[in-house]
Amino acid sequence: MEHSVISDMILQDAMVLYGQPKWTFGKNTCNTYEVFVSYFKTKDGNLLPSWPILQVIEQDDALTFLFSVSQLWQSVRKTKEISMRANTNLTLSLNLLPRFAECDNFVQQVRNVLAETGLEAKRLTFELSELQDLNEQGCRNLNTVHDELGVGLVMGNFGTSHTNMPLLHKVHFDMLELDRSYAAQIPENERVCQAVIAIQHMADTINMHICAKGIENQDQFEFFEEIGTFKGQGPLIGNAMTMEELENYVKLYALEKGHK
């Protein structure tokens, strides 16, 4: 697909957002939601899967910036709208392209969206895969939005391939998202269960939370809850859904404002 066509779709707000809940263990509630672009809508109304288009976007700095800024603003605005209608405080978790984090004006873009939408910084979280490279400028920018603004940071896909410990040292992450391949082998694979418990102990030691992805059944859910995992995500909790469906989910499971 030509870059000009992708650019036009982004500028015309043709990105279709989906969301997926992240359950908080031990509280029987869900106030955190991962929001992402699942489709792009063409002029004739057809929906194109986002993944092939995102692969093109990631290879172009201008498209990366245009897409990332648009996704940030649309996701934050939608989160604010749902929060107001559901009378709750939602936390938005947003996947971040490294090239956007490395931009000179990344921090200012985050400041702008928080100031103009009124979203509290602690209600915004950026997710960065451990499989992605990030230069020194990107590390500094992420630490700035974390330390000075209060935005949350998550290292996603943790435990895949060669775990990126150097990035964990450089960036002030609050949470590790355990790759879904671990949950898929729980509780049948004892070695995997032991490895996950060890990762949980490591996270506790360095004052970080863990979110377990790919939870498909009650046995997996109970395992992660028992070892003290903070959050969980997966088909058992809720699949990716349209923002209208997500709003209905929020009204069922999110805590209302003022809840004690």
pLDDT tens by residue, 78-108 = 999 999 999 999 999 999 999 999 999 999 9
**What confidence score (pLDDT) does residue 159 get?**
84
Inside any domain, residue 209: yes
Print the domain residue range for 10: 3-253
Whether the per-residue pLDDT at 260 is higher than 60: the answer is no
Instruction: Report phi then psi at 82, rounded to 5.
Output: -65, -40
Inside any domain, residue 90: yes
Whether the per-residue pLDDT at 132 is higher than 80: the answer is no
Whether the per-residue pLDDT at 233 is higher than 90: the answer is yes
**What confidence score (pLDDT) does residue 258 get?**
44
Inside any domain, residue 49: yes
Among residues 171, 239, 168, 172, the alpha carbon closest in space to that of 199 is found at 168
Inside any domain, residue 224: yes
Inside any domain, residue 37: yes
Inside any domain, residue 201: yes
Burial of 175 (0-12, 13-18, 19+ CB in 10 A): buried
Taking residues 237-259, what's their average pLDDT? 87
CA-CA distance, 254 to 235, in Å (whole number)? Answer: 18
Q: Which two tokens stand for residue 200?
A: 């949980």
Taking residues 112-118, what's their average pLDDT? 97
Q: What is the mean pLDDT of the chain?
A: 93
Q: Which two tokens stand for residue 89?
A: 């405080």
The contacts of residue 149 (CB under 8 Å, 6+ apart) are 107, 110, 111, 114, 121
Q: Which has more confidence, 169 or 131?
A: 169
Q: pTM (2 decimals)?
A: 0.93
Inside any domain, residue 259: no
Binned at pLDDT 50, 70 and 90, residue 43 comes out as confident
CATH number for the domain spanning 84: value is: 3.20.20.450
Q: How far, in Å, are 9, 32, 36, 114 from residue 237 at the CA level? A: 32, 12, 17, 29
For the chain, what is the domain count? 1
Taking residues 141-151, what's their average pLDDT? 98
Inside any domain, residue 199: yes
Instruction: Report phi then psi at 231, rounded to 5.
Output: -135, 160
